[in-house]
């Protein structure tokens, strides 16, 4: 369990990072200035270099407590996600597979952390993203020269969407289908490939590399493409995590099962999904901090014409925002606990453990991260839009950052696996337990997230039992409903799949026909239940300071009931709830909890909101002086009071009405 004391221990690190960024002119904000994409990318790279100079964390400090790097990435992201991703793609996503491989890459690792080289992670292609089995780049072993030959068969197989590749990466971890001299394809493997000269940043021979263009957000990050034409790399450049080739060209792997080997090859994607869970949760925290501070200070209307009240006093505003505040707390706690789970799994990878527990850890981490990424990124995306609207016209001003948060969060729904596709992996994991459930055989998972399914048959008999609104206002109520919901959707998904197969459909068709309303809903319900379970356990822990328990329990209950309310139709459809009272209790409990939390809302966002310089939103500043802050920001703009450069087009060059009208 993530303890309050452990969270407090990172305050000195956070303050050190925030203070450094605020004091350094290179990180200064420039109100009213619109950077072109080229300039933004240059500035992002210069800032990334500066992060290396600050060296906020040493490798030793990270090894002692991996949660430090987690917190550092979040702090940098709060300032600017393009900078955060550029830094982490190099130091984490690029370096991670290299660190996991053999010790022969020790010198290479030194070059990574001294920034002698700069890396990227080249997996996806123009015609294949989520379907990584369809990757078509090839790496053919040449026995005579002891080299791999990297080739792109055609433009559709060009590496595409690769962060850092567009302008400046010198090396890439390239995923390619490995071919041995006998012509056999040994599946997807990763290789270190140099793509640019480290002294000139010009492409190396055989490589065509470039930038894919402007995106909807994150334009400080240069996403690129690359094609390879007979690019030769040393035999030693294969990242031999899952397999290797002998000098004679024979393939060997300690993992005999092909599916297990493929999963191990892409194991680093779970790291990315866990990080995206945290990044999305951070965006949720940023957006809700701005919107709640604004809502507490913004006064509109009131009981009399002379008295205006804060918009946060209105029930509608509470209902729009406070469930997202509760979600921010629940998802924040979950994302940290998931990272701690991953650290346990990763330690086993580094020590080359091959135990059954290690394999089970991998499966559970994969299932959790494949669902937590969709839940957190969708929640943050919906919250950013709701917060934008809840702040009215001021929310639409770019200076107040809600649009930037929304646009920069948007790709979290897609990269490292499309959300809807990822949910299938979680539902597959859950469906895999059905044989044990049917046979009533004992089973459990390392982190215990599926252990409640041992009571599957008993849980299916549960009913909604609350007798009042007050009785419903504890997270144990939605938690019980969620356990029933997961069991019910698991049963219905299994029955649906069986019926599809019995009707003569292939496995592919049957699974495809079981997603909407069945497997997809199952995966979502499972991850919401897991997030709620962990937050419920935390908020009901007797060791929690008594002064914090009431408000944290209210947050837990609100998150659970609000999330559950989206599944009300299924609760009634499956017979868990009946009559109008169950639905009414849940709805009224949500509104009552919002009302209870409104007076603590500002204090609750103050807990996780970064300093004003980092938050960078006039309406989200801690002072609450909305209008003074907006006015000051506008007048700081260098061109706010300037006459337009095209003034003569109005004042001198008047149009001749009808001059261009057709005379036919």
219 CB-side CA count, 13 A: 14
pLDDT of 268 reads 63
Q: Strand, coil or helix: what is 5?
A: helix
Look at residues 45, 46, 50, 44 and name the one whose alpha carbon lies nearest to residue 21: 50
Please give the C-alpha separations between residue 149 and each of 197, 386, 496, in angstroms, as whole numbers.
Answer: 19, 51, 47
Tell me the mean pLDDT in the region 214-231.
97
DSSP string, 122-168: E--BTTBSS-GGG---EEEEETTTTEEEEE--SGGGSEEEEETTTTT
- Helix axis angle, 268-297 to 356-390, nearest 10°: 30
pLDDT of 259 reads 72
Phi, psi angle pair for 649, to nearest 5°: -60, -25
Q: Is the pLDDT of residue 584 over 50?
A: yes
Active site residue 416: yes
Alpha-carbon distance of 406 to 283, in angstroms, equals 8
Alpha-carbon distance of 261 to 263, in angstroms, equals 5
Confidence of residue 638 (pLDDT cuts 50, 70, 90): confident
Q: Are 221 and 211 in contact (CB under 8 A)?
A: no
Q: Is the pLDDT of residue 4 over 50?
A: no
Token pair recorded at residue 230:
């007979």
pLDDT tens readout for residues 517-540 = 999 999 999 999 999 999 999 999
Token pair recorded at residue 458:
């008993």
DSSP string, 505-564: --HHHHHHTTIIIIIHHHHHHHHHHHHHHHHHHHHT-TTS-TTTHHHHHHHHHHHHHHHH
pLDDT of 456 reads 97
Please give the C-alpha separations between residue 136 and each of 128, 412, 425, 445, in angstroms, as whole numbers.
Answer: 9, 25, 23, 35
Confidence of residue 322 (pLDDT cuts 50, 70, 90): very high
Compute how many other C-beta atoms are within 10 angstroms of the C-beta atom of residue 326: 28
Tell me the mean pLDDT in the region 239-252.
90
pLDDT of 394 reads 97
Look at residues 386, 292, 383, 316 and name the one whose alpha carbon lies nearest to residue 591: 316
pLDDT tens readout for residues 68-123 = 989 999 999 999 999 999 999 999 899 988 887 777 888 888 999 999 999 999 99
pLDDT of 257 reads 72
Alpha-carbon distance of 110 to 398, in angstroms, equals 40
pLDDT tens readout for residues 423-442 = 999 999 999 999 999 999 99
Choosing from 125, 386, 416, 528, which is the catalytic residue? 416
Q: Is the pLDDT of residue 550 over 90?
A: yes
Alpha-carbon distance of 361 to 338, in angstroms, equals 12
Look at residues 336, 267, 345 and name the one whose alpha carbon lies nearest to residue 68: 336
Alpha-carbon distance of 642 to 423, in angstroms, equals 52
267 or 342: which leads in pLDDT: 342
Strand partners, 225: 160, 210
pLDDT tens readout for residues 264-292 = 666 667 888 999 999 999 999 999 999 99
As a whole number, the mean pLDDT across the chain is: 93
- Write the DSSP symbol of residue 55: -
């Amino acid at each position: 369990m993530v303890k309050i004391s452990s969270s407090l221990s990172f305050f000195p690190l956070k303050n050190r990072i925030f203070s450094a960024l605020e004091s350094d002119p290179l990180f200064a904000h420039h109100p009213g200035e619109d950077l072109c994409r080229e300039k933004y990318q240059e500035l992002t790279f210069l800032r990334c270099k500066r992060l290396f100079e600050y060296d906020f964390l040493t490798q030793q400090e990270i090894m002692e407590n991996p949660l430090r790097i987690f917190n550092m990435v979040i702090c940098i992201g709060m300032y600017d996600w393009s900078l955060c991703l550029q830094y982490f793609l190099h130091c984490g996503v690029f370096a991670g597979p290299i660190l996991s491989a053999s010790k022969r890459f020790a010198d290479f690792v030194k070059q990574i952390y001294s920034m002698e080289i700069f890396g990227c992670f080249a997996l996806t292609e123009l015609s294949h993203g989520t379907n990584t089995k369809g990757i078509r780049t090839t790496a053919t072993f040449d026995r005579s020269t002891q080299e791999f030959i990297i080739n792109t068969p055609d433009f559709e197989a060009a590496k595409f969407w690769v962060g850092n590749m567009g302008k400046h990466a010198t090396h890439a971890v390239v995923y390619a289908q490995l071919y041995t001299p006998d012509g056999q394809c040994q599946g997807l493997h990763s290789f270190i490939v140099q793509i640019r000269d480290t002294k000139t940043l010009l492409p190396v021979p055989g490589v065509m590399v470039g930038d894919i263009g402007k995106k909807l957000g994150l334009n400080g990050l240069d996403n690129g493409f690359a094609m390879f034409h007979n690019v030769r790399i040393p035999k030693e450049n294969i990242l031999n995590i899952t397999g290797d080739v002998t000098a004679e060209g024979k393939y060997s792997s300690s993992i005999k099962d092909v599916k297990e080997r493929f999963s191990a090859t892409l194991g680093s994607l779970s790291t990315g999904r866990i990080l995206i869970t945290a990044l999305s949760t951070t965006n949720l925290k940023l957006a809700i901090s701005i919107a709640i501070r604004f809502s507490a200070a913004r006064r509109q209307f009131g009981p009399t014409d002379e008295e205006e009240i804060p918009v946060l006093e209105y029930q509608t505003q509470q209902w729009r925002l406070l469930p997202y505040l509760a979600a921010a707390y629940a998802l924040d706690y979950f994302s940290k606990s998931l990272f701690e789970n991953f650290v346990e799994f990763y330690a086993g990878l580094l020590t080359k453990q091959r135990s059954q527990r290690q394999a089970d850890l991998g499966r559970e981490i994969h299932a959790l991260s494949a669902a937590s990424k969709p839940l957190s990124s969708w929640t943050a995306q919906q919250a950013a839009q709701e917060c934008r609207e809840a702040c009215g016209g001021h929310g639409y001003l770019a200076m107040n950052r809600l649009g930037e948060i929304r646009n920069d969060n948007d790709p979290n729904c897609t990269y490292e696996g499309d959300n809807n596709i990822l949910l299938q992996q979680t539902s597959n994991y859950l469906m895999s337990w059905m044989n044990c459930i049917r046979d009533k055989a004992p089973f459990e998972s390392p982190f215990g997230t599926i252990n409640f399914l041992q009571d599957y048959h008993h849980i299916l008999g549960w009913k909604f039992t609350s007798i009042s609104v007050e009785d419903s206002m504890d997270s144990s109520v939605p938690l019980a409903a969620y356990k029933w919901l997961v069991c019910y959707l698991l049963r219905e998904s299994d029955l649906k799949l069986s019926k599809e197969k019995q009707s003569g459909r292939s496995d592919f068709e049957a699974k495809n026909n079981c997603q909407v309303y069945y497997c997809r809903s199952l995966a979502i319900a499972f991850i919401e239940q897991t997030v709620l379970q962990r937050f419920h356990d935390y908020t009901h822990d007797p060791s929690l300071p008594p002064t914090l328990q009431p408000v944290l329990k209210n947050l837990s209950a609100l998150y659970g009931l609000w999330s559950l309310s989206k599944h009300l139709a299924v609760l009634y459809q499956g017979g868990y709830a009946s009559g109008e009272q169950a639905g009414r209790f849940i709805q009224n409990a949500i509104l009552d909890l919002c009302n209870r939390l409104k007076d603590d809302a500002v204090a609750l966002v103050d807990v996780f909101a970064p300093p004003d310089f980092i938050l960078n939103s006039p309406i989200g500043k801690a002072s609450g002086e909305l209008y003074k802050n907006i006015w000051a920001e506008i007048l700081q703009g260098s061109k706010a009071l300037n006459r337009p450069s095209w003034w003569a087009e109005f004042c001198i060059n008047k149009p001749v009405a009808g001059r261009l009208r057709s005379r036919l």
